[in-house]
Amino acid sequence: VQDIGKEWYVEPTRRDEFRAILKREGVVHDFVSEIYRHKTRERIWITESARLVRDKKTGEPLFYEGSVREITETVKKLRAEELLQKLSNQVPGGLFQFSRSGTGEFTISYLSEGFRKLTYYDGDAGQFPPTLFSDLVHPDDRKTFLASLRDSGVKMQPWELEFRVAKGQEERWLRVTAVPEAVGDGIVWHGYISDLSARKRNEMEIEKLAFYDALTGLPNRRMFMDRMSKAVSTCREEGHCSAVIFIDLDNFKTLNDTRGHDVGDEYLVQVASRLKNCVKDQDTVARIGGDEFVVILSRIGDTHAEASRAAIMAANRVLDAMRSDFEIRQFKHRSSASLGVVVFGDGDAQPDEILKRADIAMYQVKASGRNGVALYDHLSMSAESDRYRLLNDLKAAIANDALELHYQPQVD
């Protein structure tokens, strides 16, 4: 008892600490020390457990007995994990490792602190539910997320995806990059996530400037034409009908001239709000000019007649909304609008041509006294179409200085 070999311990004080515990408590549990291996002097780590045996009569210490277990690999692993933790804490993103067994069960083996912060995960470290990943993903992105992960496992190709996570009103865009590794009958993904929120905000701001009207927040002409193209293609592929309503506000110039542009702008904002309330979420309301708005009514009928009835009903709702008084800066403005409606889906007309037809129908309403709805019909509006084209040609000629004026002398 008095002669524990102090030459064993890398730190000589560990010998005295071991003896002190034995003397005080009579037992030592899992006493960890770094020691020199006998003969080779290799440095290894051990854990000791021992008890002191005393003389039954005198109580004098006789010897101690116990066990020594080498834990060098365990210590190396713990040090490696500690080093990994320190390194991962310095990485701006988050590291993770999870696996899928041959039976399809998921197990998460590692999540760095950065991962937890980025995903708003505040659960217990080391006890991760198998559905953690899919639970964290925004519901709107969950289907794509799971399909992308499944595809990576089937093809054994790198997994890359941009998705959202949310907590309350907070939302982040993240990008995941991971490499799958076949292990036995399962797969292990080693990956990294990074925060894309700033880039996404910039992209959305750029998109907003490029595709949305700055005043009303509605899609602009460029976005409208893109959605029109998609609507026309969808109608041809699926065999149903949609419609366009062209809306021109009556006497808007008078309001601007008498009340000022700031009042006119506020009126346009209120018009945009009312138009959105008149249609469904799947429909598109856009502002394509100063006082010109358009609405795309998607999938409103399987036949032209059915779609025409639905389009007229929607146009009448818009007309009623425009006829109600607008309260703008302590005064009421009574207004109206002229609407042109075109149903499409059973022909091969292009988006530009459909919009032109809606404009022609709207022009017919203007010519007949405004404040009404006209449904475009090719036969009944042939004269209006000719007049529309003539007016457009004259406008273009004036803009291009293509008209000349000649005086014919009259002689008495």
Clarify whether 291 is annotated catalytic.
yes
Among 141, 248, 283, 291, the active-site one is: 291
pLDDT at 73: 85
Instruction: Using DSSP bridges, classify how beta strands 241-249 and 337-344 pair: parallel, antiparallel or unpaired.
Output: antiparallel
**C-alpha dihedral sign at 229, 231, 232, 236:** positive
Encode 228-260: b = buried (16+ Cβ within 10 Å), e = exposed. beebbeebeeeebbbbbbbbbbbbbeebbeebe
Q: Angle at CA 187, nearest 5°, toward 181 and 191?
A: 60
- For residue 261, give every residue at least 6 positions away whose Cβ sits within 8 Å of its Cβ, in sequence order, or none: none
Query: Judging by DSSP bridges, how do beta strands 186-195 and 170-183 pair with one another?
Result: antiparallel
Give the pLDDT score at 310.
94
pLDDT score, position 275: 96
- Contact call for residues 137 and 221 (beta carbons, < 8 A): no
Direct distance between the N- and C-terminal alpha carbons of the chain, in angstroms, rounded to an integer:
148
Residues for the chain: how many in total? 412
Nearest 5°: the CA angle 206, 231, 389 is: 95
Nearest Cα to 335, choosing from 405, 256, 389, 409? 256
Give the pLDDT of residue 90. 56
pLDDT in the model for residue 124:
63
According to the model, what pLDDT value does residue 308 have?
93
CA distance 47 to 348: 83
pTM of the model: 0.57
Structure tokens at 313: 């009903």
pLDDT value of position 273: 96
Antiparallel, parallel or unpaired: β 159-167 and 170-183: antiparallel
Q: Which stretches in the chain have pLDDT values below 70?
A: 1-6, 80-92, 123-128, 130, 346, 348, 379-385
Residue 202, pLDDT score: 87
CB 242 within 8 A of CB 299: yes
